[in-house]
Amino acid sequence: MSTDHQRIHPAPDVEAPPPSSAPLIPPNTLKSDSTGREHYPPLPHRAGPPPAYPISPPPYKCRKRSCCCRAFCCIFCTLLVLIVAIGATIGILFLIFRPKIPDYSIDTLKVTQFSPNNNNSISATFVVNITAHNPNKRIGIYYLGGSSLTAWYKDIQLCQGSLPKFYQGHRNTTNLDVSLSGTINDASGLSSTLQQQQQDTGNIPLVLRAKVPVKIKLGKLKLMKMRFRVTCHLSIDKLANRAEIRIGSSSCKFRLKRIF
């Protein structure tokens, strides 16, 4: 039979999906996108150590230190303001009133009694004439009670008295007669010591010490209570009963002390 057998081939199915093919790039290999950047596979996540936070001191101590610093600053500032205010006030008062130290001098000394007693004691009575001069133009001085004036030969107190109370105005000069009296106990060797002193040097040194409470008046303002301390060194020709005394030299020093 010469008839050729025709082979029948199945027609392709145009609606069937194309067969899947294996990917050209194996997995877990580098890939590049259209921009040329390479993508790496994600690394496995590892849990790191916890973050370290700074340890702050307890808040109570911090507050306490801050409060102490603040209190110290407040105290320092307050003291500084007070010092500046006091200094400014003193400076203004000084410029306004121009204070000057008062002057004191011993003009005369009378010995009305200097006689020994039967019990080896000596009774002494002096009358001292004192000149007090206030050179200030706007400052007055109130001499208060409770003053003392003592006469000394070396370390032996001979007699004592007190100044009267009075007010000394501006640029005023006041003369005072102050009576001093006292008894020197166990004075058996005092008379001979005075005679020897007079023969050797021709004079006898005496010291008068005054402590006087006062109040200073600045214009119409009275300041706090103060104390004048005046020390006068005298040189007299002799120290005898009812004798005429001549003062060879006299110098006085003044100090001011506040009474609290």
What pTM does this model have?
A: 0.66
Cβ(253)–Cβ(231) under 8 Å? yes
What does DSSP say about strands 204-218 and 172-184: parallel, antiparallel, or unpaired? Answer: unpaired
Cβ(163)–Cβ(210) under 8 Å? yes
Task: Give the integer Cα–Cα distance in Å for 181 and 208.
Answer: 13
Q: What does each C-alpha distance from 18 to 12, 21, 22, 23 come to in angstroms?
A: 11, 9, 13, 14
Cβ(122)–Cβ(115) under 8 Å? yes
Sequence letter at residue 108: T
Please write the tens of the pLDDT for every residue from 12-31: 554 555 555 555 555 555 45
Sequence letter at residue 161: G
Residue 180's pLDDT is 98
- The number of C-alpha atoms within 13 Å of 255 and in the hemisphere containing its C-beta is 10
Q: What does each C-alpha distance from 213 to 105, 208, 210 come to in angstroms?
A: 18, 17, 10
Residue 2's pLDDT is 46
Residue 61 dihedral angles phi and psi, to the nearest 5°: -65, -40
Contacts of 31 (CB under 8 A, 6+ apart): 25, 38, 39
Task: Give the integer Cα–Cα distance in Å for 104 and 254.
Answer: 8
Could you tell me which CATH class the domain 103-258 is placed in?
Answer: mainly beta
The helix/strand/coil state of 173 is strand
Residue 50's pLDDT is 66
Task: Give the integer Cα–Cα distance in Å for 157 and 160.
Answer: 8
Task: Give the integer Cα–Cα distance in Å for 134 and 154.
Answer: 30
Flag residues of the chain having pLDDT under 70: 1-65, 259-260
